[in-house]
A = this chain, B = another copy of it.
Amino acid sequence: MTTLGRFSVVQATAAEPSLGCTIALDAMGGDHGPEVVVPAALRYLADHPHISLILVGDETRITSYLGRAPRERLRIHHATQEIAMDESPSKALRNKKDSSMRVAIDLVKDGEAQACVSAGNTGALMATARFVLKTLPHIDRPAICTAVPSLHGHTHMLDLGANVDCSAEHLFQFAVMGSELVAAVDGIARPKVALLNIGQEAIKGNEQVKQAHEWLVRSNLNYVGYVEGNGIYLDDVDVVVSDGFVGNVALKSSEGVAKFISQSLSAQFRRTLLTRLAGLIALPILKHFRRTMDPRRYNGASLLGLRGIVVKSHGGADEIAFENAIRIAEKEIEANIPQRIGDQVGRHLASEPYKESA
């Protein structure tokens, strides 16, 4: 596992923090396209003097949002096509070879950028990234990983929807990838890894989860066992592993509850004149609280297991949220995530008997 061909594009290490690194942005992706991506890029450049950005997409539209802004460390890479948010991933892959998304990923493959960020169609992004960049050796399927706030700070969850039917091998690979990501970006030597299950007892769960559990118990990972859904937010764990269907539902259910609680609480404070007054007094606290919980602070999901760095921003992201996705891409460049995951997965799969008992 020392020769990972395409890794020549990812030279920076944690010791040499991203000197002069370049990130390609899919300027046309997401619900808002260049209206959000261009100002987010400008803000990011202003705050990060060592970063260069490439805005990929329709030059005329991008230029119109750029206005008279300084273009230092910023260039436009024209692309003639766009991928719609509801377009079929396979069709996008086949017919949209000059789409902003595809070209941004091509730039990573060609070494012109060290990472790309897109708020576009998740399925198309995953399919294109996988086709163009390829998966790392020993990785069957890339996974989508993001951090969510929790009582002890935050927890990384994966997979969040790239894979709807996962085998125990896939779950094991996700555990290794998640552990390595968190070790690198959060600086935790041995992240606590847990498997998402419907009970903490050994008898619970489906066969894939039980088999992955057996392998993880015998692995070198800091595996802490099963967590239930509430454990994502309440338990002291760093990485929660699940198949993509389950992880997606867990994440979106959580978002739904948070929104429901927030709306219901606001309604309570609006009920009468007295409650409105109380609301005014409580407002600074509620605002501070909302900032802590702000989903924009957690925007940016990593596509792990690829031979390059791809970060997915939420389709509805605003400037602040999109900036956060760029920040995640930068962190992954600094930490040299694909190389680290490649090395670790190789080491785990070589040293662990996980294939033998399959």
Contacts and interface: CB of A to CB of B under 8 A. Distances in A.
A120 to B, nearest CB: 15
A215 B234 CA distance: 39
A219 interface: no
The number of chain A residues touching the other chain, given as a range, is 35 or more
Interface string A230-245: 1111100000001011
Contact of A229 (B254, B285, B286): B254
Contacts of A279: 282, 285
Interface string A259-294: 111011100110100010011011011101100110
A246 B242 CA distance: 11
A263 to B, nearest CB: 7
Contacts of A229: 248-256
Contacts of A255: 229-230
Interface stretch (A92-100, A197-205, A305-313): A197-205
A357 B219 CA distance: 44
Contact of A293 (B234, B261, B271): B261
A119 B114 CA distance: 55
Contacts of A205: 164, 245
10 contacts: A164-B205, A206-B245, A229-B248, A230-B252, A233-B257, A233-B260, A234-B260, A242-B249, A254-B257, A257-B258
